[in-house]
Every structure is written in C-alpha cells, then in structure tokens.
C-alpha cells in the first residue's frame, strides 16, 4: 500500500520553464512533508520541507505548495536549469521521528 503517490514519473522541461511535481497522501496524521533531490550516483539530499500549518514555502527558485484539505502537495521549480536535472522524491512522516515514507520519484530533465 503506497502511502504517498507521486506524479509524473518523468518530466522534461525547457530551460527557463516551470517544473511541477505533485504528491498526494492518505494518512491525515502526516505533519511533515519534505522533498529530496537525487543526482545520478548520489544519495538523495533534503531540498525543502513544509509543515501543514502553512500553505506555501519558498526557498530561492523552489516552492512547496500545500493543500491540506485535498491532501496534496507539490514542488515548483521556477526558471528551471539544466543543473536541476535530477530525480525528485516527495516524502511524509508524522511527529515522533517516525521514518519518512517516500514517493516513487520523478526524473526531471531540463533541456536547453
């Protein structure tokens, strides 16, 4: 049973465009929603995270939008660059330091 569903599986975006990756969750107890970025040959690394008391969090070109009622959250990458080409994972967990549950990942390719 997949607790966090991520889409799309792969995404191709032109340089300078907006990349959007979506995730949906079932467990309403989740209260922490991070995004991890993984480059080829490397382990995932924390990119940005949000808690459900806010609807949006922005860090540079990366923004998380959170919709609690719809149980959905998304990652927006503005002005996408070839260096953003990577696999992105959404994840969720709930208080008490429970392990993260990851989505299946989205492979993003930004082409010039």
Partner 1 sequence: DAGVIQSPRHEVTEMGQEVTLRCKPISGHDYLFWYRQTMMRGLELLIYFNNNVPIDDSGMPEDRFSAKMPNASFSTLKIQPSEPRDSAVYFCASSFWQPNSPLHFGNGTRLTVT
Instruction: Work out how close the CB of 9 gets to partner 1 at its nearest, in angstroms, rounded to a whole number.
Output: 9
| Closest by Cα among 42, 35, 41, 1 to 19 | 35
- The answer to whether the CB of 55 falls within 8 A of the CB of 63 is no
Q: CA-to-CA distance for 49 and 58, rounded, in angstroms?
A: 10
Instruction: Work out how close the CB of 69 gets to partner 1 at its nearest, in angstroms, rounded to a whole number.
Output: 22
Instruction: Work out how close the CB of 82 gets to partner 1 at its nearest, in angstroms, rounded to a whole number.
Output: 22
Q: Closest CB to partner 1 among 61 and 104?
A: 104
Phi and psi at residue 3, in whole multiples of 5°? -85, -25
Q: Closest CB to partner 1 among 26 and 79?
A: 26
Which burial class, exposed, middle or buried, applies to 77 when counting CB atoms under 10 A from its CB (0-12, 13-18, 19+)?
buried
Q: Closest CB to partner 1 among 17 and 49?
A: 49
Q: Closest CB to partner 1 among 20 and 101?
A: 101
Phi and psi at residue 49, in whole multiples of 5°? -145, 155
List of residues contacting partner 1 (CB under 8 A): 6, 32, 34, 36, 41-46, 49, 89, 93, 95-97, 99-105
Instruction: Work out how close the CB of 102 gets to partner 1 at its nearest, in angstroms, rounded to a whole number.
Output: 4
């Amino acid at each position: 049973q997949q607790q966090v569903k991520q889409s799309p599986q792969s995404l191709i975006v032109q340089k300078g465009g907006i990349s959007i990756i979506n995730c949906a969750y079932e467990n309403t107890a989740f209260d922490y929603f991070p995004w991890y970025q993984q480059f080829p040959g490397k382990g995932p690394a924390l990119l940005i995270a949000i808690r459900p008391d806010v609807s949006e969090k922005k860090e540079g070109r990366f923004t998380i939008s959170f919709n609690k009622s719809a149980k959905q959250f998304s990652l927006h990458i503005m002005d996408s660059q070839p260096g953003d080409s990577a696999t992105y994972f959404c994840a969720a967990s709930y208080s008490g330091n429970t392990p993260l549950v990851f989505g299946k990942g989205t492979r993003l390719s930004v082409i010039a």
